[in-house]
Amino acid sequence: MRRLLAFYAAAAYAFLHLPVITLAVFSFNRSRFTVWEGFSLAWYRAAFRDLQLAEAAWNSLLIAAASTVLATVAGTLCAYALWKRRSRLIVASLMLSLVTPEIVTGIALLVFFQGLFRYLNLQLGMHTVVLAHVSFSLAFVVVVVLARLRALDPALEEAAMDLGASEWRAFRDVTLPVLWPGIAAAALLAFTVSFDDYVITSLVAGVDSETLPMVIYAMARRGANPVVNAVSALIVIALGGLVILSERLRRR
């Protein structure tokens, strides 16, 4: 049974990584089309020289980091409060956020920012993108953390409070430690969703806030562009390396 499960997991990982591996392989293709014409690093050189790509990648990271932190903190606290006592309004609003198609969220935020900024004389930019990302990540975080909380036994906290701990201490010392895997999973989801977002970002981005998906989308729309493949391969290697590194550090 375990063997079967491991085999299945391997197949699932293969399925998930197949497109990226294909991209990586063809990033070394000399030709820009899908016929293999020989090994070449030309596209990698082009990717490194491309300042626009570099700036977009940096923007994406910054935005994803900022929105993940904000959404995870706000979302975790909110999920905890909801676990203790449901609030119809909050629940309904988060539901609304989840149910809204991306294009609608994007348009709604765009129109909202436009109206607001007309009075404040501001423009679209990094800040609007971060705010937009927080707005759609929040619901994801709450859902994941709440699902995890539901599996917890509320008696634990009650016991702690019976022993004299305050509500805050009960949360911090009893629930939070057990909650970390859920929070980590939620943060991971929020980061992914933010880093990968194209639709909403493209609508609320300003002149100076191009993100990686926007640049890649534009490049890919014009047809197969191995520079895109090279960039994708680089991202996967870089982030994969980061993940493995963090894994090593944690184990120490």
Looking at residues 22 to 81 of the shown chain, list those that interact with another protein (rule: CB under 8 A).
Answer: 22-23, 26, 33-35, 62, 66, 69-70, 73-75, 77-78, 80-81
Residue with tokens 């609007």: 128
94 interacts with another protein by CB under 8 A: yes
* Euclidean distance between CA atoms 216 and 221, whole angstroms: 8
> In this complex, which beta carbon is closest to another protein, that of residue 109 or of residue 174?
109
Q: Which of residues 131-160 bind another protein (CB under 8 A)?
A: 131-132, 134-135, 138, 140, 142-148, 150-152
Identify the CA nearest to 219 among candidates 203, 237, 232: 232
180 interacts with another protein by CB under 8 A: no
* Euclidean distance between CA atoms 179 and 153, whole angstroms: 12
CB of 162 to another protein, least distance (A): 17
Q: Residues 6 or more apart from 229 whose CB is under 8 A from it? A: 23, 24, 26, 27, 43
Residue from 42, 117, 165, 175 in contact with another protein (CB under 8 A):
117
As a residue count, the chain comes to 252
How many chain residues interact with another protein (CB under 8 A)?
A: 129
> In this complex, which beta carbon is closest to another protein, that of residue 39 or of residue 103?
103
Query: Which stretch in 39-47, 156-164, 186-194 sits in contact with another protein by CB under 8 A?
Result: 186-194
Query: Which stretch in 38-46, 156-164, 197-205 sits in contact with another protein by CB under 8 A?
Result: 197-205
192 interacts with another protein by CB under 8 A: yes
Helix axis angle, 51-84 relative to 176-196, nearest 10°? 140
